[in-house]
Amino acid sequence: MTLYTALTVLPLAASDHEGSGGGFHAPSISEFFPPAIFGEGTIFEFNRVMMVRVIVTALLILLLALATRNAKLVPARAQNLVELGLQFVRVDVAEQIMGHNAKRFVPMITTIFFGVFAMNVAGIIPGLNIAGTSVVGLPVLLALWVYFTYLWTGVAKQGLGGYLKSSLFPPGIPWFMYILITPIEALQVFIFRPLTLALRLLANMIAGHLMLVLCFSATSFLLLEGGGLIPVTSALTFVAGLGITLFELVVAALQAYIFALLSAVYLNLAVEAEH
């Protein structure tokens, strides 16, 4: 798959060089703002990143449905793989963090884990080649889902006053320290948690995409436009691109795990009065 990804990117990079008069063109932030496919300048604007999100969502739903539609007591390989993923999220994420509070939040945390992982992996899938989470809208949407859920859950569980007290006034410290601690806790609960959830995921996906494009664009430039022995060095950037592709697969899974794990932590803080 890594080889196919590289061979998919190389002709695209080469055509970009030819269309712009040759020379090496380093990737930029414009990679994440492709031209509109339709609806340009309107609220219905639809571009390549949105198309990737739609395709990934449809494929994820289809694959999960096909793997579980004829579920058996002794699972086949596809069913077994899905069940391993579900068990991992339920046991090693939700129950490990939330204990007896986990059951009601397992569907949400599972959706977040599988959704983020699938969107992340799109960055190394040939033909898609960009993560659905590499543009801020989707990470922010997921972070806001977690944000409003833990606020609503905390208020419903403890009452507005009880939730604010447990969140902003940690027990066991001298009263005069609240002058310093309470503003920090307010920033953490209401701003930093959702902000860091979104930005951590976004930054990793942006960095990974730029590194991949840089390696394979450099490979194309060195191979097609380098003189003398310079084309030989394209093998180095090509191998680096393959290595980064494999690394991005690990990052895709790791970021999905971190997002799901922190979501469980924040939800657990909301339902537990003492923390």
Model pTM score? 0.85
18 burial class (0-12, 13-18, 19+ CB within 10 angstroms)? exposed
Average pLDDT, the chain: 85
Alpha-carbon distance 199 to 183, whole Å?
22
Predicted confidence (pLDDT) at residue 209 exceeds the cutoff of 70: yes
Per-residue DSSP letter, 39: -
Confidence of residue 171 (pLDDT cuts 50, 70, 90): confident
Domain residue ranges in the chain? 2-271
pLDDT of residue 72: 78
User: Which residues face 38 on adjacent strands?
Assistant: 46
pLDDT of residue 219: 84
Predicted confidence (pLDDT) at residue 27 exceeds the cutoff of 90: no
Q: One-letter amino acid identity for 223?
A: L
8 burial class (0-12, 13-18, 19+ CB within 10 angstroms)? middle
pLDDT of residue 261: 96
Alpha-carbon distance 10 to 219, whole Å?
8
170 burial class (0-12, 13-18, 19+ CB within 10 angstroms)? middle
Alpha-carbon distance 49 to 247, whole Å?
22
pLDDT of residue 23: 62
| pLDDT tens string 79-134 | 888 889 999 999 999 999 998 889 999 999 999 999 999 999 999 998 888 999 99
175 burial class (0-12, 13-18, 19+ CB within 10 angstroms)? exposed
Predicted confidence (pLDDT) at residue 11 exceeds the cutoff of 80: no
